[in-house]
């Protein structure tokens, strides 16, 4: 096996281990909040909504962790930072006003990590942990879009407009 193949294989193994660990962690979380797979669907979903403060969220941050807009390592570094900071900013998960979601592609596929924050629909490029911190403090908490890293805006529906 060549050096590049070995490196690609090691990266794949690392990412697979990370994904397996995350799935295990999610199953533990579901069990801990009483929303395991054996619980009837309406109750299971209601418990998840309550546990993660779905109806309290004021802003939703989506982050792409690559692998095309950035390397998976870069994407996961920012993702871990985002998770840690949201936990610090919203210690009570059931009443958290910030919701965060990891995605695998927005079809931008360059200049990542790419991130989008709703309800403003502000799209950000180059979201390193440092830029992520600015997005959290200036935009998500402060309400001001970080213009230097914003490359598109689309609120989807203007305030008060019903389709
Ligand atoms: S891989 Fe991140 S936008 Fe496509």
**Cα dist. 6→1, 3, 13, 26, 136 in Å?**
6, 5, 10, 30, 37
State pLDDT tens for residues 75-110.
Answer: 999 999 999 999 999 988 888 899 999 999 999 999
**Per CATH, which fold does 59-163 belong to?**
Glutaredoxin (3.40.30)
What is the position in ligand 1's atom list of the atom closest to the CA of 67?
1
Q: How far apart are CA 113 and CA 131, in angstroms?
A: 10
Q: How confident is the model at residue 13 (pLDDT cuts 50, 70, 90)?
A: confident
State pLDDT tens for residues 36-69.
Answer: 888 999 999 999 999 988 999 999 999 999 999 9
Q: What is the per-residue pLDDT for 22?
A: 73
- Ligand 1 centre from 62 Cα, in Å? 12
Q: How confident is the model at residue 152 (pLDDT cuts 50, 70, 90)?
A: very high
Q: Note if the pTM is more than 0.85.
A: no
Indicate whether residue 71 lines ligand 1 (CB < 6 A): no
Indicate whether residue 64 lines ligand 1 (CB < 6 A): yes
Q: How far apart are CA 99 and CA 97, in angstroms?
A: 7
Question: How many C-alpha atoms does 116 have within 13 Å on its Cβ side?
Answer: 17
- Ligand 1 centre from 92 Cα, in Å? 31
């Amino acid at each position: 096996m060549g050096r590049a193949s070995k490196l690609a294989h090691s990266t794949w193994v690392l990412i697979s281990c990370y994904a397996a660990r995350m799935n295990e962690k999610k199953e533990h979380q579901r069990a801990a909040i009483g929303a395991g797979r054996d619980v009837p669907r309406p109750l299971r979903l209601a418990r998840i909504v309550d546990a993660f403060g779905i109806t309290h969220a004021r802003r939703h941050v989506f982050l792409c962790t690559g692998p095309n807009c950035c390397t998976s390592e870069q994407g996961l570094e920012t993702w871990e930072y985002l998770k840690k900071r949201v936990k610090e900013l919203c210690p009570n998960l059931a009443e958290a006003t910030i919701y965060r979601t990891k995605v695998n592609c927005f079809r931008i596929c360059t200049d990542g990590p790419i991130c989008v924050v709703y309800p403003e629909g502000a799209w950000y490029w180059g979201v390193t942990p440092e830029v992520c911190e600015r997005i959290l403090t200036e935009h998500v908490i402060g309400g001001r879009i970080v213009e230097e890293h914003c490359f598109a805006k689309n609120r989807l529906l203007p305030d008060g407009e019903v389709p």
